[in-house]
Structure 1
Amino acid sequence: MTVKKNTQFGTINISNEAIASVVADAVLECYGIVGIAKKSSIHETIIEILKRGSYSNGIFVAQEKNLVSIDLYVVVAYDVKITEVLGEVQKRVKYVAEKTFGIKVKAVNVFAQSLKKVD
């Protein structure tokens, strides 16, 4: 699926993978984030921290009319205030997505899939 943006010169199509890639870089720069996790079901107990290039398993982009919603599944460092970290992730992702692609972001939903001690 792609996000479409109409301009005076025609239509620009932005793939969800392109958005996920830019969003992933923004997320990984945030303090307290260890990695991006694969979305898991209740029955799965192992959280896989995704390697660079496979972020689309942990970042989901949906479009409704002219608005984009982004769902993120992250691994958070153990000794941080989780609500503060996730709030900063939301702000950063919204800002970066809107400035980079010129799109309107309706929601950034961040899910802490796991905690990990950082040495």
Structure 2
Amino acid sequence: MNFYAQWAADSYTIQFTLNGGDSEIPVAQVLRVGEYVTEPAVRKRAGYLFQGWQGSVDGEEIMWDFNQDTVSDQDMTLTAVWKQANSIPVDPVNPVTPVTPSIPVTPALPNHQHTVENKGYQTVQKNK
């Protein structure tokens, strides 16, 4: 009887947390070192804009780049990052009435003519 050693590559679990998001939590992914994590569908959170996923690599928090970053030798949780959306107040405390623009007025033409004299010269033609 012969015995053969079989080695299995270690696998690691990548979990996701929505950090207040309104969607269903993405399914965890089980991957090996060097493999790419598949980016979950875009998430939603009322009043916020999704910025991406953040993870901890070697103790440092980084924005995860699904096209570049790969799984390391540990389980990891990627957390959704949100930025509050700018909102327009629905019921302002001190509303301001808009100012109606004034109508431009055509300036009046001068009622007298100016004559310019140059000593040593004479007028050849006068514009009317």
- Normalised to the residue count of structure 1, the TM-score between the two structures is 0.30
**Structure with the higher fraction of residues in strand conformation:** 1
Higher RCO by CA contacts (8 Å cutoff, separation 6 or greater): 1
Alignment TM-score, normalising by the size of structure 2? 0.28
Find the structure with the greater CA-based Rg.
Answer: 2
